[in-house]
Amino acid sequence: MAQSSSTVGAAAGYRPSATLPFAAEFRRQASRRRTQLALGFMVLLPLIVLVAFQFDSGDDDGGGEFSSLADLATSGGLNFTLFSLLVSASFLLVVVVALFCGDTVASEASWGSLRYLLAVPVPRARLLAVKLLVALAYSGLALLLLAGTALLAGTLRYGWEPLRSEVSAQLDPAEGLLRLVAVLGYLAVVLLAVAGLAFLLSVVTDAALGAVGGAVLLWILSSILDQITALGGIRAFLPTHYANAWLGLLSTPVQTDDLVRGCISAIAYATLFWSLAFWRFTRKDVTS
- Span 88-137, pLDDT tens digits: 988 999 999 999 999 888 877 766 666 666 655 677 888 889 999 999 99
Q: pLDDT band at residue 288, thresholds of 50, 70 and 90?
A: very low
Range of the domain at 239: 19-51+68-281
Find residue 163's DSSP bridge partners. Answer: 171
> Residue 11 pLDDT more than 70?
no
Tell me the percentage of the chain whose pLDDT exceeds 70. Answer: 80
For the chain, the distance separating the N- and C-terminal CA atoms, rounded to the nearest angstrom, is 37
Within-domain flag for 57? no
Distances in Å between the Cα of 90 and the Cα atoms of 97, 119, 187, 191, 223 are 12, 40, 10, 10, 9
Q: Residue 22 CB: number of other CB atoms within 10 A?
A: 13
Contact 262, 186 (CB under 8 A): yes
Which residue has better confidence, 266 or 207?
Answer: 266
CA distance 90 to 164: 21
Cα dihedral value 222, 226, 227, 231, nearest 10? 120
Q: Helix 77-89 crosses helix 33-54 at what angle (to 10 degrees)?
A: 130
How many domains are contained in the chain? 1
CA distance 143 to 184: 8
Report H helices in the chain.
22-30, 33-54, 67-72, 77-89, 92-111, 114-118, 124-158, 173-204, 208-226, 257-281
pTM score: 0.87
Question: Does residue 201 come out as left (phi exceeding 0), alpha (psi in the -120 to 50 range) or beta?
Answer: alpha
Within-domain flag for 150? yes
Within-domain flag for 277? yes
> In this predicted model, what pLDDT tens digit does every residue of 40-89 receive, in sequence order?
999 999 999 999 888 765 555 554 444 455 667 888 899 999 999 988 98
Within-domain flag for 61? no
Within-domain flag for 56? no
Within-domain flag for 116? yes
Within-domain flag for 4? no
Instruction: Please give the helix or strand (H or E) that residue 173 lies within, else none.
Output: helix 173-204
Task: Find the angle CA(132)-CA(189)-CA(253) to the nearest 5 degrees.
Answer: 170
Of 152, 105, 99, 158, whose CA–CA distance to 128 is shortest? 105
Within-domain flag for 83? yes
Give the per-residue pLDDT at 174: 92
Give the per-residue pLDDT at 64: 47
Mean per-residue pLDDT, 169-182: 89
